[in-house]
Every structure is written in structure tokens, then in C-alpha cells.
Amino acid sequence: MKKNNGNNEIVRLTQKHTAHTYGRFPIALVRGKGTRVWDRDGKEYIDFVSGLAVNNLGHCHPAVVTAIQKQAGQLLHVSNLYHIEPQARLAEELTRLSFADKVFFCNSGTEANEAAIKLARRFSFDQGYKNRNEIVTMHNSFHGRTFGGLSATAQKKFHTGFAPLLSGFKYVPFNDMGAVKKAFSKKTCAVMLEPGQGEGGVYFPDKNYLKELRKFCTKNKLLLIFDEVQTGFGRTGSLFSYQRYGIKPDVMTLAKALGGGTAIGAMAASNPAIRSFVPGTHAATFGGNPLACAAALAALKVLTGKNFLTKVQKTGDYFKSRLDKLAEKFPAIREVRGEGLMLALELDRPAGDVLVHCMQNGYLVNCVQTNTLRFIPPLTVSKKEIDGLIQTVSHSLDQMSRAKV
């Protein structure tokens, strides 16, 4: 094997000069095209991580690159003191393609959730409920790392050492309508959840649960907030995950794949809630900037192209059937989970060894929770690439079961 000096230089620099907030793998990726990325030594990988569900169209999609190049030569940033053409057009598209009436733009997922939390409180306040400010969120959720998002995130491991968190959140088990009803009080203003938990281990809600939740929120005048930061933009086989459940939320937060690889977030909401965001209530300097919006518009056009999402569903079904077959063969596999191209394999032991084996053999995957491998490839991934990954995982599990005997 070639000695990897190219990667090592960057690994050293990173360790010396950047905060150690990330458990990084010892490679530096320098180029990407479609489903492939290359490290600084020229080693090629097939990407089943997609920059954490960002590169849904693959790396450097030509339509996105062209849009960025064009916009970069025209206007990068002004301010929301003025009207911004790509922002207006992107908002038009997002509302046309979803339940939402209006969109607020920001720069990340956690910021989109901050906007949703603020809107929920402000809307309740505007309705005349002066003390209604609690939001019910779900165990194992993930809503980001700023204090609002972090406080909404019901996973202890992210909270350690950061007390006091923002007050006004009540945590209940996911997929449990009884628990929501029990947590509900005169202080509740909203229920917030992911219609497909990603970081929590890839768990999807039941159809009946979401239907009941929708009814309950409507009846009690609560906002139903869906965090679609990870599930959005074709990841689960429909443009947004909520569309597969036959219901609509009042608020939806977006980021990750929205910008085709650029940093952008959004909170989309319907009337009357969004009317509570009047001048002065919320803002973001870079929110809806021309560059990110131009990239997002180009990405959205590809995603909504003819047959694109139908193909994602087919690829997802194929991938899942291959994982199911694997589970029949290896008792170490506890469960196969997921929808579309947001899939997971839970093992009866830590999945780190399988991950490293995959990386050494040219496949990038990642772990959510210790025992679970998550697969979130570009939506353009081919059957052949899926077969290659399955073979590599299979080989690793084979080695593992042999080592045990």
C-alpha cells in the first residue's frame, strides 16, 4: 500500500490548529465527483455519507457548479435590507413544492430550528396565550448544537456540561401518542419531531402516530413542527418525508441538502403561524444570500426533474432488500431500518470495525450511536455501487464471525 504522506500533513495541521470537536478519520478529502471522492493521496472512495446527507445530488453536480459560478460573478452578498432575486425565486419554489406559505432563510439546520422555536413561542404569544411556551420533543432526537436546538435535543450525551439549557422543553418517547398527551399542558405551544430520526439511530414514525399527532395539535391549537433537515430533499424517496404520511405540519425546518453543497438553512411555515414573524422579530445577515440560493435553486430543479424521485425509491428498495439478505446471513445484525436512501444496520456490538474495514476498502460510511451503521449515499448511487458496499460489509462481518469462533 502507498504511504499516505499527503493525508498526514493535513491531519497534523488540523490536530494542531483546530478545536478537537470532531472525531475525524485520518484522511483529507480533496476532490469529489458524483458518488466518488478522493483523498490527498489519490485514493478513491465511494461515498455513503454524502457530507452527512448534504450531497444528495452527488459531489459537484454540474448544474449546481454552473449556477454557483454564474452567481459568483454577478453578486455574492447584499443584505435583507433589499430584495434578493435568487432568494425570492427559491422561496417561490419551496412554497410551490410544499405545504408552506412562506419561508425564512438562515444558514444551517440548528438555526432553522431556532427560528421554528422562536416562531412557536411568538405565535402563541400573539394568540393571546402569555404563558404558553413549552415545546414537546422526542427522546433520541437531534435538532442541532446551538442552545435552542440543543435544548430541543433529548439526548443526554449532548447536554453534559452545558447547563443551564433553555427552559421550556418536555421530552417524551418517539412514536408514543400517549406520552405526548401526558406531557401536554396549558403551557404547551408546539410539538417538534423529525419525520425520520437520523442522528438518533434512523427511526421512522408510524403513519397512525403522525396522523393522531396532527389531529391532536390541530385540536389543541399547537404548532406541529417537523425537522426535515436530514429527511428533506429526496432522502426518503419523496421530496419531503412528511409527504409519505398523508399529513402536513405547520412548520418545517430545512438545511443540509437544500443548498446542493452550500451552507443554507430555512424554516418554511404555513399561515397563520408565519404571520407572527413581523419586522424586527428575527433575522440573519447571510440568510437567503444570492450565492447559496442560486445553488439551492439549481439543486432543487434536478431533484424535482422527471422520474428522479421514483428512481430514488427504487434504489432505496433495492438497497434495503440487499441489507435484509445480509441480516438473514449474519446473526450479528440485529436490525435493518430506514426509508428511501436513509438506511441503517444495527449490530449486536460496536460497528467501528466494520466502518474501518469499509474505509480501507474504499467505502465511506458512518456510525450513529455505537452499534449502528448509517447509509446516506448520494441519491444517484448505482446498484453496482450498492452491491460493492454490501460485499465489503459482508466480508467484514464474515471476518468478525470467524474471529469469534
| Binding residues for ligand PLP (CB under 6 A) | 108-110, 113, 142-144, 194, 198-199, 227, 229-230, 255-256
User: Nearer Cβ to ligand PLP, position 122 or 143?
Assistant: 143
User: Nearer Cβ to ligand PLP, position 52 or 179?
Assistant: 52
Would residue 250 show up in a list of annotated catalytic residues for this protein? Answer: no
What are the two backbone dihedrals, phi and then psi, of residue 244, each rounded to the nearest 5 degrees?
-85, -5
Would residue 47 show up in a list of annotated catalytic residues for this protein? Answer: no
- The Cβ-side half-sphere exposure at 109, using a 13 Å CA radius, reads 24
Would residue 227 show up in a list of annotated catalytic residues for this protein? Answer: yes
Q: Are 342 and 198 in contact (CB under 8 A)?
A: yes
User: Nearer Cβ to ligand PLP, position 48 or 330?
Assistant: 48
Q: Are 313 and 140 in contact (CB under 8 A)?
A: no
Identified catalytic residue from 104, 105, 123, 142: 142
What percent helix, strand, coil does the chain show, rounded to 5? 40, 20, 40
Smallest separation (angstroms) from ligand PLP to the CB of 143:
5
For 255-341, list the strands marked E by DSSP.
265-269, 333-339
Smallest separation (angstroms) from ligand PLP to the CB of 372:
15
User: Nearer Cβ to ligand PLP, position 53 or 332?
Assistant: 53
Smallest separation (angstroms) from ligand PLP to the CB of 263:
8
Q: How far is CA 297 from CA 53, 209, 292, 364, in A?
A: 18, 33, 9, 28
C-alpha cell at 111: 438555526
Q: How far is CA 281 from CA 25, 238, 399, in A?
A: 41, 33, 57
Smallest separation (angstroms) from ligand PLP to the CB of 147:
12
User: Nearer Cβ to ligand PLP, position 32 or 259?
Assistant: 259
Smallest separation (angstroms) from ligand PLP to the CB of 73:
27
Identified catalytic residue from 43, 170, 256, 320: 256
CA 223 to chain centre: 21
Q: Which positions are annotated as active-site residues?
A: 142, 227, 256
